[in-house]
Structure 1
């Protein structure tokens, strides 16, 4: 005879096909511990970016690198080149490498190195986290600080000790979960305006993340825990355009500055040279970059820097079994030659 619970319909995990254990943050950090050279770069990077946001360091902040990381060998090659350029321009520009492991998708698609490192739908996330952490250690040991988007609220426990700057994307800026997460991150955080171009949601996010929060998360042992944060004082606005409109021009920057001041927030703005500001065409990033440099040299105190999507080779390619080395599989990027050109030209003007 069936017991009562055996006759009840299933109400838990109805649409879950499988559950696999994930490596604990503490275990991953023990297998790939931070090194002295990495820690020094992270600490110096965070402090410098905080100083730029505070207005005590006048250098232009430049977050530059691939739209997403899918090949860690290519990423290392890019990082070595960027680290050398960084040294040449350090007195006028503070360069950090864009190292994005998670990609928010409008509908479906490849979600990034951490989610699917083998690019084949096997979703070996433990391996993805290992590759991400190892790459961050290697890049930081070149003396090159790193920045990334924080998308999954669990991910920071695995890699945030190796990051100097973070962003919250246009699709998640309005999310309470991401605002809470940002309030506890150990790094300065940029909030992008919404995909429709609305900056108010990012301004609201900055106010929220500046405050203390308590929420459900995990600790270094992977145990579900109540996380209480102190609040993050180094939030700033990222203008990325939206709804087929750009917002990098001086008039848009002035409008955003006024809105920040009305909200009693620091008027510190980073311009995204890609996405809607470039109409998703890599050729247009230079136009946005040139505007940022012009605004900076003509006295803008609001514009603190720019973000550029750049790779070893220009353009992008579809995910396939025969990928070209150094070409993005997500958004279009400028190539290395153009990267050298725009950084040199900016340095000459600044």
Structure 2
């Protein structure tokens, strides 16, 4: 009897990336649009474009219909603020879990513990494709190192979460991703692991992965010069205040890195209270108006309706447009605070005017 896979109950075939490319192809016009939005994101991170990167969207996507509804609203808003902000829709499909909980649309699209991963990957790709065809760039958190093979060509930005920033596998993966990558500081609030991750991802690397045909392959990367720091707060306190941003900028500069910082308005920066996200955004805009150039953008957790909900046993009881993971601000609040933040930026740029509270 072979002493392998003794705890594997079943092995199932999975469609290859090439097969999903054929099923959900990217046309030439969409491909060119993604290329341009990636360049814009890179220019903002590198400081060549003065605008702020606004990464806005649900904590996680679970309902494709609601996701498209949200994307259409966000596309309209993005055109109204494009002189000061470049909007990327937050399209997160994978949820890291410390112990238990729903792991996201890719792993469990039916939200019933059946783990139809093949269906989840196909659904994620088709949903991203529909969003980018609206002319709205998308950004994803990268968790499973195989998943980017299925969706990498659709993304314009990505992030590595606080729990995986220290992972060498994810640092190597980031060095080869086709998009800018933000590394979050650790859940303790420590910045060193994220800064080390940025330094590591800047360098060429080699890692084992799966190619388009589904075969194991060695990937050798060029390194990624558009990696940056995401401040998301820590266990003890937020880290979006002026002194925190200044310390982060000095640390990046000391290490010879581009001082590019994105501030997460949620998580520990909002003390896990979604209604406090506007306070964080207000501080970010205030700092930018007063000349802090290292802040290259912000993240908002936003959905059609505010708050969150538990996943019911009867999925027909799910509330439309409400998060099933972290609580989010609703669309009306999103639109109000983003438009006002944009007006403050315009005023500061044109008149040097004072900052008014959100």
Matched, 1:19 2:11: yes
Instruction: State the shift of 1:45 in Å.
Output: 1.2
1:107 is aligned to 99
**TM-score, structure 1 length as denominator?**
0.96
Contact 1:244 1:279 in 2 (8 A): no
Structure 1 gaps of 5+ residues are 1-5
Matched, 1:44 2:29: no
Which aligned runs of 4 or more in structure 1 are off by greater than 6 angstroms? none
1:85-119 residue CA offsets vs partner (Å, 9 max, x unmatched): 11111111101100001010111111100000010
1:329 is aligned to 324
2:340 is aligned to 345
Q: Counterparts of 1:164 and 1:329 in 2: how far apart (Å)? A: 25
5 Å-filtered alignment, 1:101-250, equals 101-250=93-242
SS of 2:55's equivalent in the other structure is strand
Q: Counterparts of 1:277 and 1:93 in 2: how far apart (Å)? A: 21
How many residues of Structure 1 are paired with residues of Structure 2 in the alignment?
A: 342
Structure 2 gaps of 5+ residues are 346-358
Q: Counterparts of 1:67 and 1:261 in 2: how far apart (Å)? A: 31
1:286-334 residue CA offsets vs partner (Å, 9 max, x unmatched): 1001111111111001101100000000000001121100000000100
RMSD: 0.9
SS of 1:61's equivalent in the other structure is strand
1:73 is aligned to 65
SS of 1:64's equivalent in the other structure is strand
Q: Counterparts of 1:300 and 1:186 in 2: how far apart (Å)? A: 28
Contact 1:240 1:273 in 2 (8 A): yes
SS of 1:39's equivalent in the other structure is helix
- 286, 294, 297: which one aligns with 1:302: 294
Instruction: State the shift of 1:40 in Å.
Output: 2.8
Q: Counterparts of 2:115 and 2:15 in 1: how far apart (Å)? A: 14
**TM-score, structure 2 length as denominator?**
0.94
1:93 is aligned to 85
Q: Counterparts of 1:90 and 1:160 in 2: how far apart (Å)? A: 25
Q: Counterparts of 2:166 and 2:9 in 1: how far apart (Å)? A: 30
Instruction: State the shift of 1:244 in Å.
Output: 3.2
Q: Counterparts of 1:341 and 1:335 in 2: how far apart (Å)? A: 10
